[in-house]
């Protein structure tokens, strides 16, 4: 039996919004790397996200470990974008409408 050693394609893709996702799933690179950095084993990550195969989890973690600076910069940029969006939403949020809804809900309960 001979063993064929060849490179396999990386199971990452960039969607139309610029988000890096794992294979054909909706699971993001952020999610896998975040779980890994919090100490989760690849098996735990694959179990938590069953649409991602164990092999793909290992491949993504290996990619992260080999390209840590680039991935960390990507993750930092995503965090900055999320924070900016959160601030924009909060600035445009009319809290009085939410308060009125909550008060109306409370008043309708027996």
Q: How is 28-79 classified by DSSP, letter by letter?
A: BHHHHHHHHHTT--HHHHHHHSTTS-HHHHHHHHHHHHHSHHHHHHHHHHHH
Q: Taking the model in full, what pTM does it have?
A: 0.78
Torsion-angle region of 18 (φ positive above 0: left; ψ -120 to 50: alpha; else: beta): left
- And the tokens for 34? 């975040």
CATH numbers and ranges of domains, the chain: 12-108 (1.10.10.10)
> Where is pLDDT greater, at 107 or 26?
26
- The Cα–Cα gap between 110 and 99 comes to 19
Residue 16 has pLDDT above 80, yes or no: yes
Read off the pLDDT band of 62 (50, 70, 90).
very high
């Amino acid at each position: 039996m001979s063993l064929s050693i060849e490179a396999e394609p990386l199971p990452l893709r960039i969607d139309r919004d610029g988000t890096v996702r794992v294979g054909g799933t909706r699971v993001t690179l952020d999610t896998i790397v975040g779980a890994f950095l919090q100490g989760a084993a690849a098996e735990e990550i694959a179990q938590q996200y069953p649409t991602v195969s164990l092999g793909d989890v290992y491949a993504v973690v290996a990619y992260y470990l080999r390209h840590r600076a680039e991935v960390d910069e990507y993750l930092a940029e995503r965090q900055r974008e999320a924070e900016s969006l959160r601030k924009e939403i909060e600035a445009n949020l009319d809290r009085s409408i939410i308060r009125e809804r909550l008060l109306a809900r409370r008043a309708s309960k027996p």
